[in-house]
Structure 1
Amino acid sequence: MVGARVGEITGLREELILRSCKLAIKAHDKYPGKPYIYDKNRGSTDAVFAFPGSWLVDHWYNRKPFGETKVDLSKFPSLISLGNDEIALVNEAFSTRFEQLLSKSSLATEVEKAVSDRKQVVFTGYSSGGPVAILAAIWFLEKYVRLNASQIPPYCVTFGSPLVGNQIFSHALRRENWTRYFVNFVTRHDIVPRIMLAPVSSTEQGLKLMHELTTTKSQYFQHAFIPKIDSASAFFLSVMRNASSVASHAACNLMGCTNLLLETVSSFIELSPYRPFGTYIFCSGNGKLVVLDNPNAILQLLFYCLQLSPGEENSEFLCGIFKEHLIYESELQESLNMQNVIYVENLVDVPLSSDAAGTNDAAALVNSALNDLGLSMRARLCMRAAGELEMQKLENQRKVDSNRDTIRDGLRRIQEYQTNCEIRKIGYYDAFRNQRDTNDFNTNVKRLELAGIWDEIKEMIKRCELPDGFEGRKEWIELGTMYRRLVEPLDIANYYRHLKNEDTGPYMIKARPKRYRVTQRWREHAERMSVGSSSESTFWAEVEELRTKPYLEVQDKVSRLEGLAYAWIRDEILGKDILLDESTFTKWWRALPVQHKSGSCIASYLGI
């Protein structure tokens, strides 16, 4: 997209972007005074919270080599991979700063007031204040937006921010459709947004250097820089070497490289886990703004935009690189005045040659903007690969979607089997467990066909071959829930019919297929349920294990299962066929001690 304004792309008024930048830098300059600045102009519809950065090493890294830790799911329950059951990683030092701010300041109270006043909340941060703003925005999304769709979502605008989370962090935000609320401005040569691609051992001295340089007044910057040229050069080269390793490894994966050397190298070279997300706006330095929202392409640009040609490797140019972290306000003012904005949406058509003649004016403008960012042919190839990977994921999703009718037809047939069994006064679980009829055999064939389809989907999710938003799609969550409730009892029946529990152990511990675990997590996450609470499809596995044990040994578990069964039957999640006289459940329950049965919550269901 060429010619669109920044406000149209981001959804933020340009005046508000500039105001956020001024406040973010002001908050940074006042550190370690106020923990944040809250700008609440009377009569304004906006509430801007600006967070300061810090150059203290322990405010960047709490541990070696990269300072990452698992996110706190009590505050950020969405930051997980549902399909792979992995918790996102976040920079521990940044996370600790945010949590201390939340618990020891009036931030939560003032945000609550802004929400009640129906303000547009904006979180902003400059330098290492950016990660705090990012975490504050995610906290807001979790606390207010995820629980209330009518709530005005926040925006987060950062300027020269380092990276804060790993690929799962990015994936989860894309699944929730939240990345559109994050806008990150990066000048072409600013080293700070790349720092987290290097370990603390390579950056500790550099952070101290950045502190010394960024506290120098602009007119004296070069004078202060020259004595530190050697340290600055070593810091720059260290960050870029590590960024090169990360970008190259990611590019090989983008291009489907199967070379075993790739895995061998990554097994003994520690690579940074951090990855970008959201909308990135690269300031080219001549008033042009290049906008991308593909995280794989953004990662490549973070590396390739900072490549130096041999003629540029001198003290003056290196000084300019470090000074670029100080010019966001003036750079942004100039760029927003010019409104020369290039939104690179169609990555697969990125021109490979810097002097390629565009087929139209728009293509020529895109090529010119990429030239201004100094992108080589290899960089452009990586951008194309990122676009092609996203297109392949969309194509995979179309193929998966084409199976929906097949799945629905299979479930309809199993529902018919369930109904026919009820007519014969036998539950479909017990009928399938006994396998005495042709219909039982045909249903088993259908069960296996459906398992094949769902296992393929599960494997595609595991290999990250579907779009990040796939697991958040309502239609698939509902279809997965229907499949799990209707078909998993048949898997359980098959397992205990063949006495596999005697060799392998309980179904729930040793044998439950991942296709059911995944679809259960989908529902629990979508409906904000506690982990494991949507266990209705494993009812029969609980029954099978409990009925083989002495009552006194499992009486608490029996009572718990009865409570769950009562609610599931009441809500028509479980069919009443489990209460038929010849049901395995009914026979077992009626053999329980009289005292227990008389006080049971399901006694009325069974005529007692």
Structure 2
Amino acid sequence: MPESFKMTVKNRFSSGLESGNLVVNSDPVHQAWCAIEQQRQINPNAEPSLYNEIQPENPIVIAFGTPPGSLQGQEGLVSSKDFAHFEFLCNKSNPVFCINEAAIKLFQSHYSDLLVLKNKQSCMDIDNLVGKMKRHETKLLIQKMKNWDSDNKFNDVKIHMAYLEWYKKESKDKGYGYYDMYRKKEKPADVKVNEYKKKLMNYWEDSVTEIEDRPKLEEGAYLRLRWLYGGTTYRRMVEPLHIADYYKDGGENYQTEDGKRPKHFTLLEKLHQEKQEQEEKKKEQEKKKQETQKQEEKPESGPSKSKRKNVGSILNDDSCFWARVEEALILLKNGGLTTDDKGKLKEFEDYVWIALKNYAVSPEIFLKNSSFMKWWNEYKGIVDSSSSLSHFMKNGGPKEYEEGKFT
């Protein structure tokens, strides 16, 4: 058999390992096979017709009877793009599949009869089938998450993250902060960090791709939340290191140019934001239920007391914070600021101020050798002295912030 034909056949029929478990363990598949066998036994020479095998049990299985030789000349395959009604069989990994041409013609010739039969089914029948599929998929999801928790690779991930935590502390003691210490790459420890960064990125790229193909089932919400928490911590710790490499190599516009920011960072951030939005909606609903509560009894707005208390150990909420700093430095480095440049610098200043108000950045940004302080020392001669950030920086704001006393 020619190699090109082998490849074509493989691409047409392979639906991926993720479909395998569902197929081999699926009751409807066994029921369908029994229906086909029984249909053949009833009248093997009958013209193509419908046969209702299982009723009133769920699901109702339809078998098509075909006489010998009726499929000759119809052995070709039809792409799913060329016919409707089977979109639910597609997923992200397998957006297109092929079905035997004869089977499609039989289906189309009896489509009106199938619609009538479908309308006879009660909602209970459909819910029963959907429920079975959800339970099966949930079992797979929960098992996957349990494996994720005990996986040897994940144990390595925890070790790598612990090393980065140590590196972060060591860098702070040297007055740099781990972003700038890594950017300089002057010591063997920096090379080791680069090795761990690559391993962590490989792990999470695969993990994000896999979880993205999974359905969002309520039954697996708790385990999915734990996974997202781990992914968010990873993103906030590791993406700054990736950004440091990017700008050290002369890169620009990390966030705005397509393809510059790795996709899995973007997806992890999107999932985190969606979770935050859900929590905000939940809080709003709870507030509406407390209509009789007095204004002074309502919870304080802004950052939590816990966040202020532990500000010394936090990571930047925005994992692209340092990319924004680098872009602001590039504007100042170019010299001869245009009106547009000044507008962008003012936007960055406002962004930093909001982040400070929300305790959303690490106090490491104020270390004397940090890139942020390099930016500030150049920008303070340009900024309006009456601005909030200017007042904060010149009147002991960084120290108050580090102590959690800034409000």
Paired residue type of 1:520: E
Contact kept, 8 Å, 1:597 with 1:603, in 2: the verdict is: yes
Distance 1:458 1:393, change over 3 A: same
Superposition deviation, residue 520 in structure 1: 0.8
The residue number in structure 1 matching 2:211 is: 461
Contact kept, 8 Å, 1:429 with 1:490, in 2: the verdict is: yes
Distance 1:388 1:434, change over 3 A: same
Contact kept, 8 Å, 1:397 with 1:466, in 2: the verdict is: no
Between the aligned partners of 1:269 and 1:539, the Cα distance in structure 2 is: 48
Superposition deviation, residue 490 in structure 1: 0.7
Q: Does 1:477 align with 2:254?
A: no
Tell me the alpha carbon deviations over residues 227-250 of structure 1, each in whole angstroms, 9 at most, x when there is no partner. xxxxxxxxx9xxxxxxxxxx99xx
Paired residue type of 2:179: Y
Secondary structure in structure 2 of the residue aligned to 1:520? helix
Tell me the alpha carbon deviations over residues 452-489 of structure 1, each in whole angstroms, 9 at most, x when there is no partner. 11111122134x25764567732222222222212111
Aligned with 1:518 (options 261, 264, 267): 267
Aligned with 1:607 (options 379, 394, 399): 394
Secondary structure in structure 1 of the residue aligned to 2:389? coil
The residue number in structure 2 matching 1:598 is: 385
The residue number in structure 2 matching 1:537 is: 319
Distance 1:548 1:480, change over 3 A: same
Q: Does 1:401 align with 2:149?
A: yes
Superposition deviation, residue 390 in structure 1: 5.7
The residue number in structure 2 matching 1:266 is: 80
Q: Does 1:487 align with 2:238?
A: yes
Between the aligned partners of 2:326 and 2:351, the Cα distance in structure 1 is: 16
Secondary structure in structure 1 of the residue aligned to 2:277? coil
Between the aligned partners of 1:399 and 1:323, the Cα distance in structure 2 is: 42
Superposition deviation, residue 605 in structure 1: 4.5
Tell me the alpha carbon deviations over residues 237-265 of structure 1, each in whole angstroms, 9 at most, x when there is no partner. xxxxxxxxxx99xxxxxxxxxxxx87x61
Between the aligned partners of 2:249 and 2:382, the Cα distance in structure 1 is: 34
Q: Does 1:564 align with 2:351?
A: yes
Between the aligned partners of 1:548 and 1:326, the Cα distance in structure 2 is: 68
Contact kept, 8 Å, 1:471 with 1:522, in 2: the verdict is: no
Secondary structure in structure 1 of the residue aligned to 2:186? coil
| Percent of aligned positions that are identical | 20
Aligned with 1:430 (options 180, 183, 194): 180
Q: Does 1:584 align with 2:371?
A: yes
Tell me the alpha carbon deviations over residues 536-564 of structure 1, each in whole angstroms, 9 at most, x when there is no partner. 11011112122212543322332232233
Distance 1:559 1:344, change over 3 A: same
Distance 1:512 1:326, change over 3 A: closer
Tell me the alpha carbon deviations over residues 501-529 of structure 1, each in whole angstroms, 9 at most, x when there is no partner. 4xxx5354231112211111122111118
Between the aligned partners of 2:388 and 2:229, the Cα distance in structure 1 is: 29
Contact kept, 8 Å, 1:546 with 1:554, in 2: the verdict is: no
Return 449-458 or 579-588, whichever deviates more: 579-588
Contact kept, 8 Å, 1:489 with 1:540, in 2: the verdict is: yes
Superposition deviation, residue 434 in structure 1: 0.6
Where does the alignment leave 5 or more consecutive residues of structure 2 unmatched? Answer: 1-49, 51-61, 64-75, 90-105, 281-315, 396-407
The residue number in structure 1 matching 2:14 is: none
Contact kept, 8 Å, 1:488 with 1:516, in 2: the verdict is: yes
Between the aligned partners of 1:323 and 1:266, the Cα distance in structure 2 is: 23
Contact kept, 8 Å, 1:486 with 1:537, in 2: the verdict is: yes
Aligned with 1:575 (options 333, 353, 362): 362
Superposition deviation, residue 418 in structure 1: 1.2
Secondary structure in structure 1 of the residue aligned to 2:273? helix
Between the aligned partners of 1:450 and 1:418, the Cα distance in structure 2 is: 16
Contact kept, 8 Å, 2:385 with 2:391, in 1: the verdict is: no
Superposition deviation, residue 321 in structure 1: 8.5
The residue number in structure 2 matching 1:442 is: 192
Superposition deviation, residue 395 in structure 1: 3.5
Distance 1:467 1:525, change over 3 A: closer
Paired residue type of 2:170: N
Between the aligned partners of 2:265 and 2:118, the Cα distance in structure 1 is: 51
Aligned with 1:548 (options 330, 339, 349): 330
Between the aligned partners of 2:366 and 2:205, the Cα distance in structure 1 is: 32
Between the aligned partners of 2:251 and 2:121, the Cα distance in structure 1 is: 68
Structure 1 segment 284-433 matched on structure 2, within 5 A: 322=116, 391-402=139-150, 405-433=155-183
Between the aligned partners of 1:345 and 1:272, the Cα distance in structure 2 is: 16
Structure 1 segment 123-272 matched on structure 2, within 5 A: 265-271=79-85
Paired residue type of 1:506: Y
Superposition deviation, residue 268 in structure 1: 3.0
- Normalised by the length of structure 1, the TM-score is 0.36
Between the aligned partners of 2:247 and 2:118, the Cα distance in structure 1 is: 67
Paired residue type of 1:436: E
The residue number in structure 1 matching 2:40 is: none
Contact kept, 8 Å, 2:383 with 2:390, in 1: the verdict is: no
Secondary structure in structure 2 of the residue aligned to 1:541? helix
Contact kept, 8 Å, 1:568 with 1:574, in 2: the verdict is: yes
Superposition deviation, residue 585 in structure 1: 1.6
Superposition deviation, residue 573 in structure 1: 2.9
Between the aligned partners of 1:271 and 1:323, the Cα distance in structure 2 is: 15
Paired residue type of 2:355: W
Distance 1:327 1:410, change over 3 A: closer
Superposition deviation, residue 592 in structure 1: 2.0
Contact kept, 8 Å, 2:176 with 2:369, in 1: the verdict is: yes
- Which structure carries more helix by proportion? 2
Distance 1:321 1:424, change over 3 A: closer
Where does the alignment leave 5 or more consecutive residues of structure 1 unmatched? Answer: 1-235, 237-246, 249-260, 276-306, 336-341, 348-382
How many pairs are equivalent? Answer: 257
Contact kept, 8 Å, 1:477 with 1:523, in 2: the verdict is: yes
Tell me the alpha carbon deviations over residues 32-71 of structure 1, each in whole angstroms, 9 at most, x when there is no partner. xxxxxxxxxxxxxxxxxxxxxxxxxxxxxxxxxxxxxxxx
